[in-house]
Amino acid sequence: MVSVNELSPAELAALLHFHADAGVEWLLEEEAVDRFAEFEAMKQARRNATAAPQSPAQPAAQHQAAAPAERAAPRPQPAIPDGEAVQQARFGAESARSLAELKTAIEAFNGCNLKHSARSTIFATGNAASGIMVIGSAPGADDDREGMPFAGRAGQLLDKMLMAIGLDREGILLTQVIPWRPPGNRVASPAEMEICRPFIERQIALAEPKAILLFGNFAARFFFGENDTIHGLRGQWKEIGAGPLTIPAIATLHPQDLLTAPINKRLAWSDLLAFQARLKSLGLIRK
């Protein structure tokens, strides 16, 4: 085993990046844990269990009959079939008559496996009465840790992007398609997408926005129903449906994409100006 003290700063940075890409968020426990002592205690417990003599007062047959019951351990509840989970999600979403009720319904919903690996349930924040809605793809590690959409460096860049067109996150409704972070920031599966669909569509229906800005490849594909990349989907106004509503929406690159490839900021800026122009024409921001 190589000690951390033996690594150069560059090697240590590469190791930390490797763990981050693999989905590891915390390298330290809240308190020190002696894993060697744990292992030794586990071995000793097994030796004691093997060496324990059979009680003479208990017949062998009775002891054998009792063994399966003693060995039996509680099993995790089976996963809800995808079709049933979609129905439950749809019922919970449609039963909500306000965003507050919908938030409660999502937090109580256990039909999506993503929830069991996530720390937080991410729900919309900001001003639902603004008529302006911004939707991202799925929570990242910072979002999951902070319990809010667009946290961390990507959130800081988002704030600058909104500010550049006269908006801020408190003055709009900010949310994400998927309310739980997929492990390792992987893309949500088609089944997970359909389970989460009723919740995001109900958020839109309850908020009744006049225009929507979509961030990222996943959100654009999810709402536009197309398989093109964000470069092919961005900058085009399309209509998306949510319940009885049909709302104009435009997609652009996700702030995280721009952190990775800053050269694409010029494309995002063009999309932001188009979004700003639509908001002005709708009277949602000052001209």
Give the pLDDT confidence of 232-266 residue by residue, as tens digits. Answer: 999 999 999 988 899 999 999 999 999 999 999 99
The Cα-based distances of 133 to 28, 152, 158, 275 in angstroms read: 38, 20, 14, 11
Q: Which amino acid, 69?
A: A
For residue 148, the SS3 value is: coil
pLDDT of residue 121: 97
Residues belonging to the chain? 287
- Please answer whether residues 250 and 237 qualify as being in contact, where contact means their C-beta atoms are separated by less than 8 angstroms: yes
CATH architecture of 82-282: 3-Layer(aba) Sandwich (3.40)
pLDDT category, 110, cuts 50, 70, 90? very high
* Residue whose token pair is 């793809």: 137
Instruction: Count how many Cα atoms sit within 13 Å of the Cα of residue 280 in the half-sphere of its side chain.
Output: 10
Tokens (6 digits) for 235: 């900058």
Q: Which amino acid, 127?
A: N
pLDDT category, 66, cuts 50, 70, 90? very low
